[in-house]
Structures are given as structure tokens and as C-alpha cells.
Amino acid sequence: MTASRCEQITVADLTDYAGGECDATATAALEEHVFSCVDCGARAAEFDGLLRAIRSAIRSAGVGGFVTDAVLNRLSRDGVRVRSYTLTPGAIVPCAVWDDDEMMALRLRGDFGGVRQVTLTRRIAGTEVARVTSEVAGDSSGEIVHAVPAAWIREVPAVEVQLELLAREGDTERSIGSYTLLHGGVLHRRS
Amino acid sequence: MPDAHPTLEANSDESLACRIAEGPPGSTDAEEAELYRRFAPRVRLYGRCHLRNEAASDDLVQEVLLLTIERLRAGEVRRPEQIGSFILGTSRTMIQAGRRTTRRREQLSARFGLGKEEVTSLSDAALDGPRVAACLGALAERDRLVVMLTFYADAEAPRIANDLGVTSGAVRAIRHRAMARLRDCVLGGARL
């Protein structure tokens, strides 16, 4: 027979607690229990380990996707080397990844007015290799930021990369902008 | 490396505290390390909630637990059977006092020989970095961004809601869903 474990504190409770979503009463009650209950203390320890692993994974520049300047600023404070390219619709921009770059931030500009969902496609030599959709919309500055780990880019040979941002409006899609990166491959700094 | 004191894990918090309090000087290193391992994550989480700063939370862990061990050794913890309450109370006191006593922490560390590496919990060791990154990558874009903003960029909920153009309640719901999926993926071995 397995002894029943205390389930008073859930992962959702810990998520609220760590995310600063609890009021003072709920916070105090959770803390009193977590510091005195073996089972919930272990669950809190597991959750703390998960938070540390999340931060470590992001800090190691292994996680890309749509981000905001708050994330990029934190990466910079953590010493992550971020190379940024700002692309306006129709732009054709030469680019490269240096051997010590860790993250590439693509600042994609366009008219995001009223847009609630965007899709970003990436084509290499005419073939679509990636498509991501998100409810993340561009802010009032008319820009959306997509981060790509530099390690991924190093795998790409010197080639033309075409990006397109699409906005979903009802059942149809409209193009926000097309952008072309003339990827020059990996550049090495002289020692 | 096998645990040199596997039986300590079966001891209650109270038992560990009593052994430290009653043991001759220098004889309870394993008990102290086990107490540290158990409570460090809880104090760090407490620090994260109240300080909103990762480095300050790590400092708090050091200060609180080294002071706890010092008090236990000196017989100054009146109720070792309530060691959890003592540690929570010490955490509260230190944060309320706004003490960032780095020098004192360094003195305690040197005295007791406890380094930061001992803060690492077993759960940390079990977490595989590439898998965590892959699990983050498997989240929906918006879910992942909420996790990054909350637990990496330390952004406040209203700022996140504003940036994403959603309500604070929606941010909370997204965060619940994302953390549940991440936990299942990382610790439960769910398929990516």
C-alpha cells in the first residue's frame, strides 16, 4: 500500500506564488505549509529546480521564438551576445553570424494595426523550412522581434533566406511584409 | 557517486535538527548538508517571491541556512521540532530587515565550510538542459513568451499583460497551462 501524499499545494499554486500573483493572506498560508510539510516542500523544491532549469536554458541561448525587449535586455545583462538585424518590408539585408554570437534577434517592422495573430515563414532557396504562428502581436512601435539561437544559424550555409510575416484576419491571411536575408555564413574573428 | 549517508533521507526535519543541536562539534556535517539540501529550494522560492531577484534569492538561501545551522549548533533554536517555522521566520526577518549581509555570509561560509555548490538540490541534477530547452521550444509561442517574461525577465504581470495585449487573468491562465506542460515534459518525460 502506498501512503497518501499531501496535495494541498499544487503546481498552479506554486506558479502563482513564484509569479507574484498571490495576495498576502494566500502567500502566508502557502509559506507556512510549504515550510512544514515534507510532501509539499518536496514539490516546491521540484518547482524551484524547474525554474532554475528554465532560466539556465534561456541564458544558454538555446531557446528562440517571438520575444520582447524585456527578454533581450535580460539576455544582454546575463552576458549573452545578441546580434540584431532590423528589417523593413521589402528589405534585402546582408547578414552573417560570427563565431562568438549566441543569439540573433530579427526586428521585423510592418503595419501591425489590429493584428492579433501573426505567422512567420522562413524559406531557404524557395523551400519553406519553418512556419510559426503566434498570438503575439507587434506593439505600437510597428515591430515584432523573433529570436533565433546562433547555433541553429551556424548550420545554415551561405544562402538567401526569405522571411514573410502574415496576419490572420478572419479566414484570410494578408502579408505584413517580406524580408530577405543574404546569409553569408559563419564569420571568424582573428585572434 | 553514492550518497555517503543514505539513511539521512529517511530522517524527519525534526530529527535532523535535533541531531545537529545535540551532536558534538564537527560530527554533524552530513546532517547539516541534508538540512541544507531540503530547505535551500524552499528559501530560494521564498526569496524569488519577495525579492524578485535571482541573485538576491541565492544570497538569502546562504544567509538563512547558515544562520540556522549556527543557531542549532549553539543550542539557540528553542523548538528544533519546528525547524521549518524557524527557517521561514528567519527568512522573513532577513528580508524585512533588508539585510544584504554579504560579509557575514562569507564569514559563516568560511566558518562552516558550506559553499554555494551545496545549494544545488537533487531536482536540479535531474534536469537535463537540452531537454528543458526542447520542452520550452515545444510550447506555443505565446505560452513560452509568458514563461520567459515571468521567470526569466522578471517582468511584472501588468507589464506582461500590456505587452501581449491581454488581460492579467489571461496571463495567469496561460502561465498555469505552460508550467503544467513544461513540468510534464521535463519531469514526466512526455514526448516532445
Tens digits of residue pLDDT in A84-106: 999 999 999 999 888 889 999 99
| C-alpha span between A21 and A12 (Å, rounded) | 11
Of chain B, the percentage scoring pLDDT greater than 90 comes to 56
Would you state the pLDDT for residue B83?
95
The answer on pLDDT for B165 being more than 90 is: no
Averaged pLDDT for residues A160-175: 88
Would you state the pLDDT for residue B188?
77
Q: Tell me whether B1 touches chain A (CB under 8 Å).
A: no
**Closest chain A residue to the Cα of B12, Cα to Cα:** A38
- For testing contact with chain B, the best of A27, A68, A116 (most B CBs within 10 A): A68
Express each pLDDT in B154-163 by its tens digit. 998 888 998 8
Express each pLDDT in A37-58 by its tens digit. 999 999 999 999 999 999 999 9
The answer on pLDDT for B118 being more than 60 is: no
Residue A124: in which H helix or E strand, if any? strand A118-124
Cβ distance B136 to A57 less than 8 Å, yes or no, reads yes
Of chain A, the percentage scoring pLDDT greater than 70 comes to 95
Q: Tell me whether B110 touches chain A (CB under 8 Å).
A: no
The answer on pLDDT for B182 being more than 60 is: yes
The CB density around residue A155, as the number of other CB atoms within 10 Å, is: 7
Place B117 in a pLDDT band, splitting at 50, 70 and 90. Answer: very low
Cβ pair A63, A149 in contact under 8 A: yes
The answer on pLDDT for B120 being more than 70 is: no
Decide which of B173 and A155 is more confident.
B173
The answer on pLDDT for B37 being more than 50 is: yes
Count contacts between A and B (CB, < 8 Å).
171
Chain B residues within 8 A of A57 when measuring between CB atoms: 129, 132-133, 136
| C-alpha span between A38 and B13 (Å, rounded) | 8
Q: What is the CA radius of gyration of chain B?
A: 19
Would you state the pLDDT for residue B68?
96
Nearest to B72 by CA among B15, B17, B113, B11: B17
Averaged pLDDT for residues B66-76: 93
The CB density around residue B56, as the number of other CB atoms within 10 Å, is: 14
**B123: distance to nearest CA of chain A, Å?**
5
* pLDDT mean across residues, chain B: 84
Lowest mean pLDDT among A143-157, A171-185, B69-83, B114-128: B114-128
The answer on pLDDT for A29 being more than 60 is: yes
Decide which of B10 and A118 is more confident.
A118
Decide which of A79 and A1 is more confident.
A79
At residue B163, the 3 state secondary structure works out as helix
The CB density around residue A165, as the number of other CB atoms within 10 Å, is: 24
Place B144 in a pLDDT band, splitting at 50, 70 and 90. Answer: very high
Would you state the pLDDT for residue B116?
45
Express each pLDDT in A109-135 by its tens digit. 998 888 888 999 999 988 999 999 988
Would you state the pLDDT for residue A88?
96
Please name the member of A12, A32, A55 whose beta carbon is closest to the beta carbon of B176: A12
| C-alpha span between A92 and A119 (Å, rounded) | 20
Structure ipTM: 0.91
The answer on pLDDT for B190 being more than 80 is: no
Cβ pair B149, A70 in contact under 8 A: yes
Averaged pLDDT for residues B11-19: 91
